[in-house]
Amino acid sequence: MSVSSVGHQVEAFDPQVSRKRVDAALADSNWPAARAELSKLWRATGDAATAGFVVARFDKMRAHLPLAPARLAILRSMTVEPMVPMLRAGAFASGIGLDVFLGDFNAYVQDILNAAGPMYAFDPTVIVLAVQARDLVPEIWTGFVDLSPQQVDEVCERAISSFKSWVEALRKNTKAHLILHNLERPSVPALGVFDRLNERSQVEAIEKINAGIAALARSKSNVYVLDYDRLLAGRGLDRVQDERKWLTVRMPLRADEMGALAREWLRFLHPISGKTCKALVLDLDNTLWGGVIGEDGMDGIKLDTEYPGAAFRNFQRAILDLFERGIILAVNSKNNHADAMEAITSHPGMLLKPDHFATFRINWQDKASNLREIAKELNIGIDSLAFFDDNPVEREWVSSQLPEVTVIDVPSDPMLYARTLREVPQFERLSLSSEDRVRGRMYAENRLRSELQQQFASMDEFYESLAMEMELQPVTPANLARVAQLTQKTNQFNLTTRRYTEEQVAAMNADPSWQLCAVKVKDRFGDNGIVGVAFTKVSGREAQVDTLLLSCRVIGRTIETAFLSFIAERARAAGATRLTGWYLPTKKNAPCKEFYASHKFEIVETNDAGGRLYALDLAANEIAWPKWIKRLDAGVRA
């Protein structure tokens, strides 16, 4: 048992004791405690022997847990049965209630083409197509030296054409997300070291097919590529594969490597299921740099291009990569504020600068309390935070106080920090808009706005000082992906929380009875990009708001009032005399609960789930556009 300076205790982990705690919690119907202990057990072990126990216990209580549902169909040319329990255990531990349909061995074509078959009856939300090179292109895999250059090209084109036809067939019968395995290259090419010099290279033939698979995925929405070739190469082909297992039971990986493929599948399931983190909260001492700044001073901490400082620089590089992916950064450190900020601002080895961080909590308060404050300041849910701290005592404390936070299991060796961070599935994204790429900077700019607000005696003066501009945009091919993404990800200021795919948004946009609009906001501190969406359906004299949402980073600055003003104006111009809209409550959208009421809407209907239908008489009421926001109409007219 270890004890920190503030008295938090961490017991040595014993899997058998953990199992008994799980069963005791289940016997008492203490679902949260059972879930927390099961997740802890899986993180500590993660092996096939534990997977069965974890899945069996989660299945007993899944009806009592707020799990994100997912239905995965695996179509394959290889044996993956032992990996399924590991995948389900990892999904459950991450808050995903996963059900799996496993297609028959090597029957993937039949599964795809049989629209009345069991795979489509399962109604998957995600489909994995896992086909190996040796099965799809045996001529290239085992008979390559017998092929002419023309024959090699023909086999490659046939393989790419097969993938295209399979995707088209799947798209006709399902809206599921599709994950395509690419093909693995041989560890030893048939022509040996001469392969890359020969005009008909075996390795290049596989790479050509993989390029075709990637191009196919880029041309379709909700189609992704799992880089199976990279996965095997990264772990070492000779180490992960077992030729005896392949020849006897068609098992593609050694028994002790099966978890690697399960984890790779899980990296896709997280963003598809919405189980992602928006912010990374970081400790400082022995995390961003080696040593303790308060004791070692600026010259004593380790942060440079040589060992051991290079490990921390590499970690900061990985953090910057997440920042460029749109992940918000924050600091949560027990330290003297002045010492820590001097290091962040002035140390020559720092890659991260103050402008990269949206907020700082550098104090002697317990870290769970700091995390609550960080979530509140950033206006995001506690479950949107991931916490990286080298101290296991602090990690255990946060896990016990805030089980919703993703507490990253940090290795004891700083050389492994960067890889550990890059493999956190909660940071995976399957699309990146221009707004995503600058989100971290936008939140850092919000910190400057908050500091500016303190200088003004009234909110009106503060709003005027921001020099806000709001651009009203039609939905176009250029912003379609971002519009759909906002419906899928925005939770707090989202009146109905209806999720739409790109195809569904495009269909509404083509229907003249629908009025769709996106909004872009910028001010003196920077451009926030597209941060809001509204879908309104006009039927005779009534216009009903189906979707109205705004990113949490712009609410509270009267942007929401301006948006509603335009929606009402546009509905009135279309002949509507009544504007209606539902507020459908969720666990996260309380910030907009009174939005309609605060703009003179009246409740005209309720439902059993607490939903309220509001209405506004457009002839008798006008919603004024805030005078401090400049309006720009980019192709949208009322």
- Report the DSSP beta bridge partners of residue 424: none
Q: What is the mean pLDDT of residues 76-88?
A: 94
Name the nearest CA neighbour of 568 among 555, 581, 558.
581
Q: Is the pLDDT of residue 284 over 50?
A: yes
Containing H/E element for 168?
A: helix 149-173
- The single residue listed with the structure tokens 């008295």 is 7
pLDDT, residue 7, reads 46
Q: Nearest 5°: CA angle at 372, between 24 and 584?
A: 85
Residue ranges, CATH 3.40.50.1000, the chain: 279-427
- The tens digit of pLDDT for each residue in 217-237 reads 999 989 999 999 999 998 888
pLDDT tens track for 172-198: 999 999 999 999 999 899 999 999 998
Residues of the chain with CATH 3.40.630.30: 457-633
Confidence of residue 5 (pLDDT cuts 50, 70, 90): very low
SS3 state at 254: coil
pLDDT of 104 above 90: yes
Taking the C-alpha atoms of residue 543 and residue 537, their distance in angstroms, rounded to an integer, is 6
The predicted pLDDT at position 439 comes to: 76
pLDDT at 109: 97
Q: Distance between alpha carbon 393 and the CA centroid of its chain, in Å?
A: 27
Give the tens place of pLDDT for each residue, 33-47.
Answer: 999 999 999 988 999
Q: Which residues contact residue 370 at a Cβ distance below 8 angstroms, ignoring those fewer than 6 apart? A: 332, 361, 363
Window from 140-154, 230-244, 500-514 with minimum mean pLDDT: 230-244
Q: What is the pLDDT of residues 513-547, one digit of tens each?
A: 999 999 999 988 788 889 999 999 999 999 999 99
Range 341-359 average pLDDT: 95
For residue 360, is pLDDT > 50?
Answer: yes
Which tokens go with 368? 């769970």
Q: How confident is the model at residue 11 (pLDDT cuts 50, 70, 90)?
A: low
pLDDT reported for residue 3: 35
**pLDDT at 525 (0 to 100):** 79
The CA distance from 466 to 445, in Å, is: 12
Top-level class of domain 279-427: alpha beta
Q: What is the pLDDT of residue 78?
A: 92
Q: In whole numbers, what is the pLDDT of the chain averaged over residues?
A: 92
CATH architecture of 457-633: 3-Layer(aba) Sandwich (3.40)
Q: Which of 1-15, 457-471, 577-591, 620-634 has the least mean pLDDT?
A: 1-15
Top-confidence range, 312-321, 457-466, 473-482: 312-321
For residue 608, is pLDDT > 80? yes
**Burial class, 305, CB count within 10 angstroms (exposed 0-12 / middle 13-18 / buried 19+):** exposed
The amino acid sitting at 603 is I
Q: Is the distance from CB of 47 to CB of 85 less than 8 angstroms?
A: no
Torsion sign across C-alpha atoms 254, 256, 261, 262: positive
pLDDT: is 3 or 27 the higher one? Answer: 27
Name the 3-class secondary structure at 457. coil
| Predicted TM-score of the model (pTM) | 0.76
The secondary element (H helix, E strand) that includes residue 582 is: strand 578-583
Q: Where in the chain is the domain with CATH 3.40.50.1110?
A: 67-273
Element (H, E) at 119: helix 118-122
Nearest to 470 by CA among 392, 405, 522, 505: 522
* Contact call for residues 281 and 386 (beta carbons, < 8 A): yes
User: Over the Cα atoms of the chain, what is R_g?
Assistant: 27
Measured from the Cβ of residue 110, the count of other Cβ atoms closer than 10 Å reads 13
Residues near 598 by beta carbon (within 8 Å), at least 6 away in sequence: none
Q: Is the pLDDT of residue 556 over 60?
A: yes
Q: What percent of the chain has pLDDT over 70?
A: 97
Contact between residue 196 and residue 203 where contact means Cβ atoms under 8 Å apart? yes
In 3-state terms, the chain is what percent helix, strand and coil (to 5)? 50, 20, 30
Which residue type does 237 have?
A: L
CA triple 407-409-412, angle to 5 deg: 135
Cα 104 to its chain centre, rounded Å, is 31
For residue 599, which of 575, 577, 572, 626 has the smallest C-alpha distance? Answer: 626
pLDDT of res. 93: 93
What stretch of H or E contains 514? Answer: strand 514-523
Q: Comparing C-alpha atoms, which of 98, 159, 95 is closest to residue 126?
A: 98
Q: Is the pLDDT of residue 253 over 90?
A: no
What local confidence, expressed as pLDDT, does residue 578 receive? 97
Summarised one tens digit per residue, pLDDT across range 288-309 is 999 999 889 999 999 999 999 9
| pLDDT of res. 637 | 63
Structure confidence at residue 444 as a pLDDT band (50, 70, 90): confident
Round to whole Å and give the CA distance between 15 and 19. 6
Residue 498's pLDDT is: 95
Both tokens assigned to 17: 């004791």
Of the candidates 17, 18, 64, the residue with the CA atom closest to the CA atom of residue 40: 18
pLDDT of residue 627: 94
CATH for 67-273, among 3.20.20.70, 3.40.50.1110, 3.90.1150.10, 3.30.1600.10?
A: 3.40.50.1110
Helix, coil or strand: residue 351? coil
Question: For residues 121 and 447, which has the higher predicted lDDT (pLDDT)?
Answer: 121
Distance of CA 254 to the CA centre of its chain: 30
Q: What pLDDT is stored for residue 6 in this prediction?
A: 45
Looking at 90-94, 425-429, 446-450, 618-622, which range is the least confident one? Answer: 446-450
Beta bridge pairs of residue 76: 130
Task: Report in angstroms the alpha-carbon separations of 584 from 68, 497, 568.
Answer: 19, 8, 20
